[in-house]
Every structure is written in structure tokens, then in C-alpha cells.
Amino acid sequence: MKKWMMGAIAAATGLAMSAPAYAADQLTLQLKWVTQAQFAGYLVAKAKGFYEAEGLDVTIKPGGPDVSPVQVIAAGGADVIVDWMADALASREKGVKLVNIAQPFKSSGLLLVCRKDTGIATPADFKGKTLGVWFYGNEYPFMAWMNKLGYKTDGGANGVTVLKQAFNVDPLVQKQADCISAMTYNEYGQILDAGLKAEDLVVFNYRDENVGMLEDGLYALEDKLADPAYVDKLARFVKASEKGWAYARENPDEAAQITVDADESGSQTLDHQKYMIGEVNKLTDATSGALDPADYKQTVQTMLSAGGVISKEPDAAATTTAVTDKAGLK
């Protein structure tokens, strides 16, 4: 009898020791674009085990030209999305109740890049020119800027002609447009790689033109934020993500390699990802990941000035500090 009891106790103890104490919480992040160093903080956090250390099992879903993060989260395909604030607030007004839970990007990286040989030197020279613009929610800063300058965007000698730009630099290289949209960390480098030199270009930074809007924030759905357990899970995710961004700033070459390794398409090159992370790190520096109220106010006012992007100031529930507060980010 004693031998049987001791054997049963030993078997039970073995099972207890082999079973995990807790199952990791599942969380899905939808990126705004394809796997690249624009999202290095999240890729690093996953690769280095920062999410695992917070009790999370994070799935990172790449985006692309046919992927709308807003539609993905609205359909239940993600817990968190990366999106530009203009698109998120416009979507909120249309009924998808997105809430900014954190803001890893402090500065805007959006540019309008023009060929110097078009005669463009200042925004006053845009009149009658063809300008390449991304859509799918990326057009709002451009529309705000043109409204501020007093240009109509339906063509004509006194306005500008808008070319619906694909996510490449061909229109500028092939002289199909006088200017195109570009990000500091991506397309600007592609323009230089295509053979144009910096001295051949005139570059306008939206931030310097006072029409920059916050980019690459983290958004969740309002109704789910009523659950304290969900907020806790998001807080652990944001905390680990910020650790990933800090690691990427301190170890840019390793972050670039992690990005290339995570790219299942095999289309990313290490050299370009090194360039990209160097520029992205400038945009994530000097912030804890918490949303700056002044930056938020500036983005909202710029959107309101665009005419038609949003009809009124967003309600107070459009942002929350509950997640970053719980994560200890100030």
C-alpha cells in the first residue's frame, strides 16, 4: 500500500512539473504595411523574447496594398493595429471605434519630393504641377496642406493635378509626376538608389510645413478596452514593444537583420533595412511610447483644416492613457 501511494504521488508530481504554470496570452498585431524596419520594434520584441517574458504569444501579420488594418480589426482579425492617426480618426468618425492606446512614433516621416528640373523651389511653384499622392488613408496630410495653400486638387492652371501614386518611386524617376510622396525611411532612399542625387531634388517635409500628422500609432477597439484583463494584456504588449524599439535604436544592424529574417516574402535586402532602421530610429527617439497631448491636438487641428477629413473634434474616448499608464510609460 505504501509503495502504491508513493508511486502515485511521484507520478502526480512529475505531471505537475512537466505542465506549464500558465498559458501565454494570445495577441495579434496587424501591421500597416509589409514586413520592414518601419515595424522593427515589434519584430525585435518577438525575436528577442520580450513578449514571451511578458506572458504573451504575439502573432505579427504583415500588411500590403490590399490590406486595410482598419478593416482587419473591425472584422476581428487583430487585437491591435498600426495606423496613421488621420486614417484612424477618420475611420472612427465613420463608425469603427478605434482608440489610440500608444504612440511609438514621435515624428512624421512623410515627404513630398520634387525634381529640381521642374522649376519647383517653394510651395508657390506647385501651381499647375502634377503631384503623386498615396491614398487609402494616406492622402489626408496632403489634402490638409493643399487646403492650407489654397490649391484645388482637381487640376487646372491654378490648382494641382493629383496622380494616384502606387507605392513606388517610378512616377518621379520616369518624369510622370513633378513630385511624389515618400517616407524618409523608405522611398527617399529608393529615389537615390534609382540614380537621382540629393542635389537633383527639392524635398518638403510635412512636419516643417506645419501639416505633419502623427503616424504609426497603436489602436484597439473601444468596446474591448472596457475589460481590465484586455487592458492588462495590451499594457504588457506595449511595454515589451517599447523595449523592442529601444533595443532597435541601440542595435540597429541587428534590428535590420531581424527584420530581414522575419520577412517571409524574401523581398527585403539587408542594406535597405539598415538604411530604413537608421531613419526610423530618428522618429521613435525621444518618446516613451505614450501619446503626447500636444502632438495629438496638432494632428486633430490639421485634420480639421483639411476640410472633409473629419467634421468635428473627436470625442474624448478616441485616445486613452490607460494602457501606457499600466505599462509604466510616461
- Residue range 144-159, pLDDT digits in tens: 999 999 999 988 888 9
Q: What is the pLDDT of residue 11?
A: 44
Whether pLDDT at 6 is above 50: no
Whether pLDDT at 251 is above 50: yes
Whether pLDDT at 18 is above 90: no
Q: What is the pLDDT of residue 261?
A: 98
Number of alpha carbons in the 13 Å side-chain half-sphere of residue 299: 27
Q: Which helix (H) or strand (E) holds 151?
A: none
Rounded to whole angstroms, what are the CA distances from 17 to 9, 22, 57, 225, 280? 12, 12, 21, 35, 44
> Among 171, 110, 156, which Cα is nearest to 137's?
110
Higher confidence at residue 74 or residue 6? 74
Cell of 87: 486614417
Mean pLDDT confidence for 302-327: 92
The residue extents of the domains of the chain are 25-106+214-326, 110-205
Q: What is the pLDDT of residue 129?
A: 96
Whether pLDDT at 42 is above 80: yes
pTM of the model: 0.90
Mean pLDDT confidence for 277-281: 98
Which residues have C-beta within 8 Å of that of residue 97, sequence separation ≥ 6? 221, 222, 223, 317
Mean pLDDT confidence for 3-19: 43
pLDDT band at 324 (very low <50, low <70, confident <90, very high): very high
Q: Answer whether 25-106+214-326 and 110-205 agree in fold.
A: yes
> Among 122, 115, 112, which Cα is nearest to 143's?
112
pLDDT band at 167 (very low <50, low <70, confident <90, very high): confident
Architecture of domain 25-106+214-326: 3-Layer(aba) Sandwich (3.40)
Q: What is the pLDDT of residue 17?
A: 44
Architecture of domain 110-205: 3-Layer(aba) Sandwich (3.40)
Strands (E) across 122-245 are located at: 130-133, 161-164, 179-183, 201-205, 217-221
